[in-house]
């Protein structure tokens, strides 16, 4: 059975909440945007995306943030604004879709051909995609890429 279909049956796939998050979630902001394309059949990482996000409103990282993440001030200073980061990420995804023939299936749909490989985003909790990115995009009036509205919550999978 396909991993995404199994995760959906177990109730582990999360979707963007209908009710918007209100306020700033704990004063947090996006400062790093990493992703990997992992081939689950081989266990190999086939492609990676990584960008530091330059905080616009509060550009100086707190000591707590630096200790928690290991990210240094110089790294975010040399980063890009979230709008540019999302644009770069979308270009990376579209390139992968063409080169690797991958698809982010909506619902329970299967790929149209056997050559298309289904992909899913996997996170540890709903925090990154369901709270932080959602809030930042709404606050900055940015369009969140539609393929980031669905993901597998690995923490929930682990608990189950």
Does a structural domain hold residue 38? yes
Query: Which pairing describes strands 117-118 and 102-103: parallel, antiparallel, or unpaired?
Result: parallel
Number of domains present in the structure of the chain: 1
Residue 22 domain-assigned (yes or no)? no
Give a yes or no: residue 34 inside a domain: yes
Residue whose token pair is 């080169």: 99
**Inter-CA distances, 30 with 51, 119, 138, 157, Å:** 11, 24, 13, 25
Domain encompassing residue 105: 3-15+29-159
In a domain? residue 85: yes
How would residue 88 be classed by pLDDT, with cut points 50, 70 and 90?
very high
Taking 90 as the threshold, does the pLDDT of residue 73 lie above it?
yes
Torsion of CA 155, 63, 132, 136, to 10 degrees: -170
* SS3 track for 122-147: EECCCHHHHHHHHHHHHHCCCCCCHH
The mean pLDDT of 78-89, rounded to a whole number, is: 97
3-state secondary structure of 153: strand
Which of 20-29, 100-109, 132-141 shows the lowest mean pLDDT across its residues?
A: 20-29
Q: What is the mean pLDDT of residues 75-104?
A: 95
pLDDT exceeding 90 applies to what percent of the chain? 61
In a domain, residue 24? The reply is no
Which residue carries 């149209």 as its tokens?
112
pLDDT at 19: 39
Mean pLDDT of 142-149: 93
Domain contains 153: yes
* CATH code where residue 150 lies: 3.30.420.10
Helix (H, G, I), strand (E, B) or coil at 51: strand
């Amino acid at each position: 059975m396909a991993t995404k279909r199994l995760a959906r049956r177990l109730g582990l796939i999360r979707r963007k909440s209908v009710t918007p998050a209100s306020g700033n979630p704990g004063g947090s902001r996006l400062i790093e945007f990493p992703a990997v394309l992992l081939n689950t059949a081989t266990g190999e990482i086939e492609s990676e995306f990584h960008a530091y996000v330059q905080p616009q409103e509060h550009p100086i990282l707190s000591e707590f943030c630096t200790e928690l993440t290991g990210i240094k001030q110089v790294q975010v200073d040399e980063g890009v604004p979230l709008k540019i980061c999302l644009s770069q990420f979308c270009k990376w995804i579209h390139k992968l879709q063409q080169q690797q023939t991958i698809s982010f299936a909506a619902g329970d749909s299967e790929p149209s051909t056997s050559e298309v490989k289904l992909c899913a985003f996997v996170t540890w909790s709903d925090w990154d995609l369901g709270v932080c990115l959602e809030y930042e995009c709404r606050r900055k009036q940015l369009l969140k890429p539609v393929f980031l509205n669905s993901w597998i919550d690995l923490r929930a999978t682990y608990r189950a």
